[in-house]
Structure 1
């Protein structure tokens, strides 16, 4: 009985659960050397130890059981090296994806932490903003129903970028619609891409575009989309009173809503609109 090990003994010797050993048997990956025909007990031999070591080694590296079975069946050195190379590439791709996810989370944490300190709520101001890459779907959005359906369209087509929506979704409202008092009919929905995502962008017609670098009139406010029109109007008055010229659409972005905080005093939205400062065009001509 020196070279006869029960499944329980194999489990303890190799730190592999009995359930796992039984599963390996079922899928013909690692079968017992002997099965008692009367009791059904499984017995293994010392010659099988190395094979189980290799299986556990490859499994610890994350190699799928299907590939492990292929390797242990063929036992070809070139195949073994190829399996390791393939899995190394898989790991590198996963590491890259995790690094992108980490950076996206860091950006979101930094933004939310900084926004907790904002005191200039409901007061328009001007700031310079760098160019931003967005995925934009141009269609009329008149309700929450329309908004969610449009968002799902973006999600289906660009699911690689949609893993973290918080603070990245925005709507646009043209100055033309505003002047016609069409406050609740938006022109498009967009998803703001982080810097770390841009390398993955595949140009797809008009969907991938940019928000240009330049001066933007902005205002933060506490509320939801239903309260946005009054702040769009506030920002428009600010632009007119300061002799600024709108150079694009109003951009309305939800940063903190009921899905992040139950406290309505913490809700936060931002409206931006690109502008030309007084005399800008005249200076450009010279």
Structure 2
């Protein structure tokens, strides 16, 4: 009985489809133990289940059928097996890093969404403690606060193309912001010629700046035009509370989900500056 099993019985016992078994035969992975010359029926031996098990095991690690076939054909060549395993191990480590990066990005998006929900109607300054953060910077030829919406959008496209050219994924392009140097901010000279994007760590290949950990004065607004109106208010609030500005002003777009068919950005901005 077990030495001559019908293809359907063998497939059912191994939780595999008949179509898959036929394909494995086609590519030379599992050949039937016996083929009836008159009926062309395929029969399998129960011991061939071991081949099914190892194929399913290796497929679980995303080995291709060609790789699996080579491994089974050269099963005594341990050096070949070691090489393929190491290659797959490195590929899985790289995939793990990509997944962790996506999870971190999703967590950050969710955190910013909650902050938007909590603060979208807030009209007062607060002090928030931030950890050390890193930003990747991109210089501009023109002051952001003198740009039209279309000019600003065009420069965003240039920044995004620049990042893609440096090896970043298009999905990395989020939480874009701008800066004003401390000297200009305290003099109320609103000059910003630098865009930035938050990155998880300093990157040697591109200009990266570390934002120090510590207390930041924070204020919120809903657009760049609104920000320009509130910059003076923000600085006056800082002075009223007797705080001292310790670093550059940061404009961070923390939440941005445009409405469908609405051809404009729908931003929520976190205005911030380090203080003591």
Q: State if a TM-score over 0.5 links the two structures.
A: yes
Structure 1 residues 181 and 189: alpha-carbon distance in aligned structure 2, compared to 1, 3 A threshold: closer
Q: Give structure 2 stretches of 5+ with no counterpart.
A: 145-150
The residue number in structure 2 matching 1:228 is 227
SS at match of 1:159: coil
Contact 1:224 1:254 in 2 (8 A): no
Structure 1 residue 87, shift from structure 2 partner: 3.8
Q: Give the root-mean-square deviation of aligned CA atoms.
A: 4.0
Residues in 2 aligned to 1:122 and 1:148: alpha-carbon distance in whole angstroms: 31
Aligned residues: 261
Residues in 2 aligned to 1:114 and 1:11: alpha-carbon distance in whole angstroms: 54
The residue number in structure 2 matching 1:269 is 269
Structure 1 residue 149, shift from structure 2 partner: 3.0
- Paired residues for 1:94-113 under 5 Å: 94-113=95-114
The residue number in structure 1 matching 2:177 is 170
- Paired residues for 1:107-256 under 5 Å: 107-118=108-119, 121-140=122-141, 142-159=151-168, 163=171, 168-174=175-181, 176=184, 186-193=192-199, 197-198=200-201, 201-205=202-206, 207-221=207-221, 223-238=222-237, 248-256=247-255
The residue number in structure 1 matching 2:148 is none
The residue number in structure 2 matching 1:19 is 19
**Residue-by-residue CA offset, 1:163-196 (whole Å, 9 max, x unaligned):** 5555x322224575996666xxx42222212xxx
SS at match of 2:62: coil
Structure 1 residues 243 and 2: alpha-carbon distance in aligned structure 2, compared to 1, 3 A threshold: closer
Residues in 2 aligned to 1:181 and 1:202: alpha-carbon distance in whole angstroms: 28
Contact 1:4 1:45 in 2 (8 A): yes
**Residue-by-residue CA offset, 1:131-165 (whole Å, 9 max, x unaligned):** 311122222464212213312422442526x6555
Which segment is superposed worse, 32-41 or 224-233? 32-41
Residues in 2 aligned to 1:36 and 1:149: alpha-carbon distance in whole angstroms: 67
TM-score, length-scaled by structure 1: 0.69
Residues in 1 aligned to 2:257 and 2:103: alpha-carbon distance in whole angstroms: 24
Contact 2:10 2:46 in 1 (8 A): no
Residues in 2 aligned to 1:31 and 1:125: alpha-carbon distance in whole angstroms: 72
Contact 1:34 1:44 in 2 (8 A): yes
Residues in 2 aligned to 1:145 and 1:41: alpha-carbon distance in whole angstroms: 66
The residue number in structure 2 matching 1:58 is 58
Contact 2:112 2:255 in 1 (8 A): no
Structure 1 residues 272 and 57: alpha-carbon distance in aligned structure 2, compared to 1, 3 A threshold: same
The residue number in structure 1 matching 2:147 is none
Contact 2:5 2:43 in 1 (8 A): yes
TM-score, length-scaled by structure 2: 0.71
Q: Give structure 1 stretches of 5+ with no counterpart.
A: 278-286
Contact 1:261 1:267 in 2 (8 A): no
Whether 1:73 aligns to 2:82 is no
